[in-house]
Amino acid sequence: MYFPGAMQPSTPDWGVSHGRVWCAGILPRMSSDVPVSAIEEAARRIAGAVRRTPLLRLPLDEGPPVYAKCENLQAAGAFKIRGATNFIGQLDPDARRHGVITYSSGNHAQAVALAARRVGVPAVVVMPTTAPAVKVEGARALGAEILFEGTTSVERKRRAETVAEDRELRMVPPFDHPWIIAGQGTVGLEILDDCPDVARILVPVGGGGLVAGVAAAVKQRRPEVRLVGVEPTGAAKMTASLAAGRPVALDRVASLADGLLPVRPGDLTFHHVRRFVDEVVTVDDDPIADAVLWLFRRAKLVVETSGAATLAALLSGSAPDPSDPPGDGAATVVVLSGGNLGLDTLAQLAARRSPDGQQRG
Active-site residues, by number, are 80, 337
Collapsing DSSP states into helix, strand and coil, what is residue 63?
A: coil
Note the pLDDT of residue 132.
84
Same domain as 319, residue 246: yes
Total structural domains within the chain = 2
Per-residue confidence band for 31, with pLDDT thresholds at 50, 70 and 90? low
- Backbone dihedral region of 164: left (phi > 0), alpha (psi from -120 to 50 degrees) or beta? alpha
Please give the average per-residue pLDDT across 286-313, as a whole number: 97
Would you say residue 219 has pLDDT above 50?
Answer: yes
Predicted confidence at residue 16, as pLDDT, reads 47
151 and 39, same structural domain? Answer: no
Kindly give the pairing relationship between strand 279-283 and strand 226-232: parallel
Nearest 5°: phi and psi at 166? -65, -35
Whole-angstrom distance, CA of residue 148 vs CA of residue 10: 46
Q: Which amino acid is located at 71 in the chain? A: E
pLDDT digits (tens, 9 = 90+) for 171-198: 999 999 999 999 999 999 999 999 999 9
Q: Domain check: are 296 and 218 in the same one?
A: yes
Q: Look up the domain containing 345 and give its range.
A: 14-78+177-352
Q: What percent of the chain has pLDDT over 90?
A: 75
DSSP designation for 147: E
pLDDT band per the 50, 70, 90 thresholds, residue 61: confident
Same domain, 293 and 215: yes
State whether 222 and 343 are in the same domain.
Answer: yes
Query: Is the Cβ–Cβ distance between 177 and 32 less than 8 Å?
Result: no
pLDDT digits 0-9 by tens, 242-286: 999 999 999 999 999 999 999 999 999 999 999 999 999 999 999
* Residues 212, 154 within the same domain: no
Yes or no: say if 24 and 13 are a contact pair by the CB < 8 Å rule.
Answer: yes
Residue 358 has pLDDT above 90, yes or no: no
pLDDT given for residue 1 in this prediction: 22
Q: What is the pLDDT of residues 117-164, one digit of tens each?
A: 999 999 999 999 988 888 899 899 999 999 999 988 889 999 999 999
Pairing of strands 100-103, 123-127: parallel
Average pLDDT over residues 209-228: 97
The torsion angle over the Cα atoms of residues 335, 337, 340 and 341, rounded to 10 degrees, is -50
Which of 124, 151, 171 is where one domain is finished?
171
Same domain membership, residue 340 and residue 232: yes
pLDDT(8) > 90: no
Q: For residues 302 and 212, state if they share a domain.
A: yes
Instruction: Give me the CATH number covering residue 66.
Output: 3.40.50.1100
- Same domain for 198 and 308, yes or no, is yes
Amino acid 330: pLDDT: 86
pTM: 0.87
| Cα four-point dihedral sign 88, 91, 93, 96 | negative
φ, ψ (nearest 5 deg) of residue 21 = -105, 125
